[in-house]
A and B are shown apart, each in its own frame.
Chain A
Amino acid sequence: MTAKAEIHIPINSDSDIVTARQQGRALAQEMGFNGSDLTVISTAISEIARNIVEHAKSGEIILNAVNSPGTVNSPGKIGLVVIARDKGPGIADIALAMQDGYSTGKGLGVGLPGSRRLMDEFEITSAPGIGTTVTMKKWKR
Chain B
Amino acid sequence: MRVPILKQGNYLIASIQSALSDYELLQLRDDLAAQVGRFRSKGVIVDVTVLDIMDSFAVRTLRAIAQIARMRGSETVIVGIQPEVAFAMVQLGLALGEVETALDLEEGLALLELRTKQGGSRDSQS
Contact partner, B92, options A17, A25, A43, Cβ 8 Å: A43
* B73-94 near A? 1/0 per residue, CB < 8 Å: 0000000001111011101111
How far is B84's CA from A35's CA once the two chains are assembled, in angstroms?
7
B50 at interface by CB-CB < 8 Å: no
Contact A117 B91 (CB under 8 A): yes
Number of interface residues of A (CB under 8 A): 29
Number of interface residues of B (CB under 8 A): 24
Q: A114-B93, A118-B92 are in contact. Are A36 and B84 (CB under 8 A)?
A: yes
Chain A residue contacts of B114, Cβ below 8 A: none
Contacts of A14 in B (CB 8 A): 21-23
Q: Is the CB of B56 within 8 A of A36?
A: no
- Which residues of A have CB within 8 Å of B52? 25, 38-39, 42
- Asked if B34 is an interface residue, CB under 8 A from chain A, the answer is no
Q: Does the CB pair A115–B92 fall under 8 Å? A: yes
Flag the segment in A62-70, A86-94, A103-111 that touches B. A103-111
Q: Which residues of B contact A21 (CB under 8 A)?
A: 53
With contact pairs A14-B22, A18-B19, A35-B84 given, residues A40 and B91 touching in the complex (Cβ less than 8 Å): yes
A131 interfacial by beta-carbon distance below 8 Å: no
Please give, as numbers and ranges, the residues of chain B lying within 8 Å of A36 by CB-CB distance.
83-84, 87-88
Bound Cα distance A104, B93 (Å)? 18
Within 8 A of A (CB), among B83-113: 83-85, 87-89, 91-94
